[in-house]
Chains A and B, each alone.
Chain A
């Protein structure tokens, strides 16, 4: 660093210490501002992540293959059989995938009747694919794809007034369009995070259901989880090419409302940034202006002694940057600490009913994204720079002599 730069850096540091209380308050304001910003971003990112994961987990996956007719009318008649060569290709590729038989049905207990999605699944596959891996089951889980038992959601069981060991009847259409009724014994009750999944799905073995419907190889969907979700478009195209009679959709296409909500979340982060940063900008600029006015004589003296105006601007900017750097460092620590403190999740169960409506889980885990931290720090640094340039400009605009006389 050249001599004048070293000198003004040192002067800046000493001036910081000279107005300890004010500068400490400003550092604290910057730190709290950034910390709050990071925590709020982390909360929204957590919400976004949970919405995305829940959407993908709801028997959707990163990609889902169905027939076009099934999307309009999801009945067994619109199922298909996955060609063996495609199944083999999927097996050899490093993706997690499964097939399901997902059919609308009417479930009937001794007391109640409700609509439900009957899901014929392979529990071994679902252990890597869907919400099934996360549920808590009372009684027993499905053993394999041949399991003829039925696992119901807790809320559905409560509304049907049924339970483990009892029998229920499910009515659905077979692939030939005939209405069929099948008796199932409830072998387990699953407990999901919200009631949405508990009400929507009843689970049974895929092969067992195919057998009941006399359609051994019938599937209504193929679902894929990709190791790298960024490759989703490539996979979508590959599958479209391999399965010309079927449609391949990404989860965002199947659940556009969730995708929109995530977009809204991103916008909310930007709005939050704008509001907080605007407020902070005024606070910082105001304090920096006050700091410059307080030292009009000194800055005037520097001009009179022959200090270049550019160096005086740099002096004011460096002082501001010291405050910003210290404040931002504290802010990152504060925000990271807050996220770490709530890393086990923020309990929203008190507002569970309302929260679920917005895709929030009962326990929300904030998620700090490095890019958000970088963006916030850089934005605030630029803001601090802009806020300090104005008082710096005011400082050099003064005639050195008038500044020496204390005129502003």
Chain B
């Protein structure tokens, strides 16, 4: 691992299926992401962006090649080690929010910290601070079922960022949101990116999301076809 690279892939390849049914979802992808970057992965359905995101997140295993997050080569890790890396170094935001329905917003934000073993007082302080940062301090005691989609996604962002991860991975974070809520959410991610220097990689079809990212990677048929670094912010 060199310099400030947060993510580095080497000839990363992922095939699905066997024999004649084999499909190459990702084909020898090499790229790096530095600390503090806000990257969008775009491309048509089946282009490999979600596959790439899952491999970076340690949620999937490559057929060949390597993927590094910080100093850790995920390819060589066991399931338990990958779980440990996800818990301590990576935050996730999903298309479907994926909050635990029996927990309040605050408890959802506290959840990962509980797994990390953070003590109750610190956990509560950090969760409240993060909910305040995403504009949901007043809804801390509400359960996901009593919140709008946009509010739930903000809670998901708070949960992903509260542990100050090295990397935030967002898979189609705006897919279930209207444009106004998307703008608000992306503004929030951007602010977090600037405030905490959190590295963000998001897979998206959404042009609004792409506008907020500073670096835009275009995938097609499992390969990077364009990598536009250093675009001016929105």
Contacts and interface: CB of A to CB of B under 8 A. Distances in A.
B98 A404 contact: yes
Which of the four size classes fits the interface of chain B?
Answer: 20 to 34
A7 B112 CA distance: 11
A309 B80 contact: yes
Contacts of A401: 54, 59-60
A3 B117 contact: yes
B92 A304 contact: yes
A306 B112 CA distance: 8
A11 to B, nearest CB: 6
Given A304-B86, A305-B92, A18 B100 contact: no
Contacts of A14: 102-103
Nearest to A302: B100
Nearest to B84: A306
Interface string B98-140: 1011110000000110110111100000000000000000000
B112 A4 contact: no
A304 B60 CA distance: 11
A7 B117 CA distance: 11
B101 A306 contact: no
B112 A309 contact: no
Nearest to B83: A306
Which of the four size classes fits the interface of chain A?
Answer: 20 to 34
B24 to A, nearest CB: 19
Interface in A392-408: 399-401, 404
A399 B101 CA distance: 21
Interface string A8-47: 0001001101100000000000000000000000000000
Contact of A4 (B79, B94, B117): B117
B177 interface: no
Nearest to B89: A306
In terms of DSSP, what is the predominant structure of the interface of chain A? helix
A400 to B, nearest CB: 6
Given A4-B114, A404-B98, A306 B87 contact: yes
Contact of B100 (A17, A298, A303, A400): A298
B88 interface: yes
A367 interface: no
Greatest chain A CB density within 10 A among B59, B87, B117 is at B59
Nearest to B97: A301
A275 interface: no
Given A3-B114, A308-B80, A297 B98 contact: yes
Interface in A302-327: 303-309, 311
A306 B82 CA distance: 8
A294 to B, nearest CB: 11
A306 B100 contact: no
B209 to A, nearest CB: 20
B92 A11 contact: no
Contacts of A301: 98, 100
B100 A309 contact: no
Nearest to B82: A306
B79 A305 contact: no
A308 B80 CA distance: 7
A297 B96 CA distance: 10
B83 A307 contact: yes
A303 B84 CA distance: 10
Contacts of A306: 83-88, 112, 115
B79 A7 contact: no
A297 B100 CA distance: 10
A400 B59 contact: yes
Contacts of B115: 4, 7, 305-307, 311
Nearest to A2: B117
Contacts of A18: 101-102
Contacts of A311: 115
B215 to A, nearest CB: 25
Contacts of B80: 308-309
Interface in A109-137: none
Interface of B: 54, 57, 59-60, 79-80, 83-88, 92, 94, 96, 98, 100-103, 111-112, 114-115, 117-120
Given A305-B92, A306-B84, A309-B80, 6 more contacts: A3-B114, A11-B100, A14-B103, A307-B83, A307-B115, A404-B94
23 contacts: A2-B117, A3-B118, A4-B117, A7-B114, A11-B102, A11-B103, A17-B102, A18-B102, A297-B96, A298-B100, A298-B101, A304-B86, A305-B86, A305-B112, A306-B85, A306-B88, A307-B83, A307-B115, A308-B83, A309-B79, A399-B59, A400-B59, A404-B98
